[in-house]
Structure 1
Amino acid sequence: MTQQPFAGRGAIDLSALKRPAPQPAAAPAGGGPGGGPRGSGGSGGGAAAGSAYAVPVDEQNFQTVLQASTTAPVVLVFYSPAQAPESARMAEDVADLVGQYDGRFLAGLVDVDAVPQIAQVIAQASQLPQLPVPLLMVFLDGRPAIQPIPGMVPRDELNTLFNELGQQLTAQGITGRHQPLASAPGGEDENGEAGPDPRYAPAQDALAAGDIDAAVAEYQKLVDSNPADAEAAAGLAMAKILQRTQGVDLNAARAAAAADPDDVDAQIMVADLDLLGGHVEDAFARLVELVRRTSDKERDRAREHLVGLFAAVGNDDPRVLKGRQALASALF
C-alpha cells in the first residue's frame, strides 16, 4: 500500500498532547498471563503477551501507532479498569484476535485511567463531551475507517468484524501488513527479523496491482502444491469472486436477480457482490434459499457455489457455521 502523509481532513489532531513522537521501541517480551493488556501508567507498558501485533499506547507512542495505519489498519481499544473492569477483557480479546491475522491489523490498547489526555484528544476529534469506555475505533491512513463502536463487544462479534474488514481490504487490493513488534516463533528471516509469509507475496502483489487473473493463478499454484493450506484456499476463493465480478453493475445485477428468483447465474452474481460488500449473511441466505427452491443440476451448482463462499470467508467464522447448518436444513 502506498504510504500517505499523516495529515489532512479527518486525521486526528495530536497537537493537544504537546509531545514529540519518538522512534517506536521494540515491544518487550513477556506480559500477563492469558495475553491481556497491561495499564501503561504513562510509560508505554508491555505489549499483550501472545500477540506480536498489540501494544499499550501512551502519550509518547500514540502518534507513532496512528501513523502505522498508513501501512495497514490500526485498531484502538479504549478501556478503563477503574470505570468498567469488564472493558479490560475486551481489550485482551482484541489483542489476542489481531494476532491471528499475521499483521493485517495492529491493536493499540489505551488505558484511559493511565492516559486520560489521549481520551480527551479522541473525544474532541469525535465532538463528544466524554469518551465512552470501552470504545473500539479502526484507523486507516490516519483516519477512522468505520464508525466508532462503543460498549462491550463479544469476542465472536469482534472476530466477525475482523473477518469482514480483512475481506474488504482484499477486495480493494489493500495488502499491507504490519511488522511484528516482537519476534514470533517460525517467522524470522535470515537476519533474524520476522515478516509476512513470502509464499503469499506474488498473489498479494498481483491484487495490489489490480491484476486479478494473476492473483488467481498465483493462489492456484499454492493450493495445487498444498491443498491443506487454508489461507491459500481462502485467498483463491476470494480472488475468484473478484474475477467473476469485474465490471459488473451492481444495480443491474440486482434487477436481474429480482426479475428471475430461480435464475442460478443471476442469484450467484448477487451473492458474490453481497459478499464483497461485507453482506456475508445476506450472500449465504440468498444461496441457501436458492438451494431450497431448485433441484438436480441447478441445485448442485447453487450448493457448490455456496461452499466456495464458505471457503472465502473461512471455515472457523461463526457465520459459516450457521450457513452450513442452514444449507444442511435446505438439503435434507
Structure 2
Amino acid sequence: MRKSSLTLAYFLAVINASFIGFSFLMSKIAIDNAHPLDTLAFRFAASFTAMSIPVAFGWIKLNYRGKPFGRLILLSTLYPLGFFTLQAYGLQHATSAEGGILYAFTPAMTTILASFFLKERTSALQKLSILLSAFGVVFIFVMKDGGIAWSSMVGISLLLMTCVAFAGYSVFARSLTKQFTPVEITYLILGVGFVSFMAASFTRHAASGTLTKFAAPLANSSFVLAILFLGVLATLTSALTSNYLLSKMEASKASVFNNLSTIVSIAAGAMFLEEKVTIYHLIGSVLIVAGVIGTQRLGHANLRKSGAPVKHERRTLPG
C-alpha cells in the first residue's frame, strides 16, 4: 500500500475508534429514553436514511449486478444482526464493564480467524502486541472494580459470542473487498439492519399492544440527538471506515484499533460526565496505545529483516 493510503487508513482507524468510544455515552442517553430494541430500530433507520440520500441523488454509485449478493446477506447476519442481538441480550445478564472486558479480546479472535481463512501472517511480536492492547483494556476495567462475575455465565457466553460475530465479520468482509466496494458492503448491511430491527421493534410493540407509543421517544430532544449520533456517526461512518480499512489492511491489524475506543470513552466520561481519571486509566491507556502501535509496526520490521514477502494470501470463506 502507498504511504498516503496507509496514512489515510491509520487516520480513519483513529476516527472510527473515537466514534465507537463516544457511542457508549450516547447509547446510555438513548436507552434511558427507549427500549434497546427501539433504539436499534431508530439507530439503523437514521444510518440507512442518511446513506440512501446520496444514493438516490446518484452521488454514490452502487453496482451489485453479477456479484455474489447472497454472501453480503450472510455477512450481515454476523454484523449488525448477530453482533447487536447477542450484545443486547448479553448485557441483560451481565454488566457493561464485563462487556468492555470481553470485547477487548475481539482482535485476538480476529487474528485467529484471519490466519486460518485469509492466511494472514502475524509475527510473535505482533501477537504479543495484540494481547498487550487487550490487557490494557482488561486492566482498566478490573482496577475500577469491573471484574468478571462468573456467576453471570449466560451473559458472559453471549458477550463472548459477540467477539466471534465481529471477528467473523471482519474476516468475511475482508474477503469480500475483492468483489464489492466498501460503500456497497456498508449500504447493504445497513439496509438489512434497518429492516430487521424495525420489524423486530414493531413486532414487540404489537405483541404488547403499545404500537401507539412506538414514536414517543422522538419527542425527547436528547434521544433524537443521541440517535443521530449513533446512526450517522457511530454506525454509518464507522461502518464505512471499517470496510475501507479492511480493503486496505489485514483484518488482524484493523481490528486492534477498536481497543482505542476505550481511551476515548474514558475521555468522554471525564469531559461530559465529570468521571474521575486515575493513574490506572493512564497506565491502561499507555498499554492499549503501545499494543496498537506494536501491531502495526513490528510485523513490517520483522518481515524486512527476514526478507520475507509482505503479501498476504487470502482464502475464500465458505458460503
- TM-score, normalised to structure 1, is 0.21
More helix by share: 2
- Larger RCO, structure (CA 8 Å, separation 6 or more): 2
Which one has a larger percent strand, Structure 1 or Structure 2? 1
